[in-house]
Amino acid sequence: MSSMSPCAQSRGLAGRHALVTGASRGIGAAIARALAEEGASLTLLGRNERALGELARSLPGDAQVVLADVTDAAAVQQAFERARKAHGLISILVNNAGQATSAAFEHTDRALWDRMLAVNLTAAFVCTQAAMPDLRGAGPSGRIVNVASTAAQTGYAYVAAYCAAKHGLLGLTRSLARELARTGITVNAVCPGYTETDLLEDSIANIMKTTGRSAGEARQALVRGNPQGRFVQPQEVAAAVRWLCSGAAGAVTGQAISVAGGEVT
C-alpha cells in the first residue's frame, strides 16, 4: 500500500497553466496551493510582491509571480503576456481578487460605489477578456472560476455596493457560461460565506468601531449567520475550486457553489 498522501498522488492538472488573481493571502493563496498540488503551473497575480514571492517558494512545482493592479486594464494585459511567456497558454483562470468596504447606504458615496464595482466586477471582466484567446485554445479543458460570495446570492445590510458588484459577478458568470457552453469551457462561481481570512478581521474591526462591541461579540454576531456555527476555512473554498477545475466537473457550468455552511440554500 502506498504511503503517499492523496494530495501527493493527485496530479490531475499536470501540464495546465492556472492564473489566480489576488493570490497573496487568504482564499487566493489556498486556491493556488490546491491547484499546485494537482500539478498545475501557477501564475500568482497581485500587488504584494513579498507575500506572493513567499507563497511561490512554498508551492510544489512551478510558480511565478506577476505584479498588477486588476483595476488597471493595461497592466492586466501586460501581466497576462508575461504569464504566458513563462508557462504557456492559460487554461485555468481564477478571478479571486476582491475587496469589501461597508457603509450605510446614505453614506455610500460615488467613489466607494465605483471602487467596489471596479475591484469585484470589472476586474473579472478585464481579466477574463485577457485570458479568452488562451482559454479558447484550451477548449474543453478551459476553466473560469469566479470567487464571488454569498453576497452574490442574497443581500446584506451596510454593504450595498459590495452586494451589487458580487450580484453582477454572478450574472457575468451565468451569461458567459451560456455563451461558451459549446466550446467546453466551463464558467462557475464559488460563493463563500464568512471565511477565516484577513477580510474577516477587517469586518470584525469595522463592527467594533461602529457598534462598540468587543472582538468576541463581533465574531459571534458574524458566526450566527452560519447554521453550522463556525467560519468557513479558506481550504474549504479552495477544495471547491479544485474540483471545478478538474475533468470530473466538465458538465458543471453556470453554477453558484455556496461554501457557507448552509447559510444560503
Active site residues per annotation: 162
Report the distance separating Cα 241 and Cα 234, nearest Å.
Answer: 11
Counting Cα atoms < 13 Å in the Cβ hemisphere of 92 gives: 33
User: How many Å apart are CA 149 and CA 53, to the nearest integer?
Assistant: 27
Alpha carbon distance 123, 121 (integer Å):
5
Task: Provide the H-helix boundaries in the chain.
Answer: 6-9, 26-37, 49-58, 73-87, 110-117, 123-138, 160-180, 198-211, 215-223, 234-244
Separation between Cα atoms, residue 216 and residue 226, nearest integer Å: 16
71-99 CB burial, b ≥16 within 10 A, e <16: bebebbeebbebbbeebebbbbbbbbbbb
N-terminal to C-terminal alpha carbon distance within the chain: 40
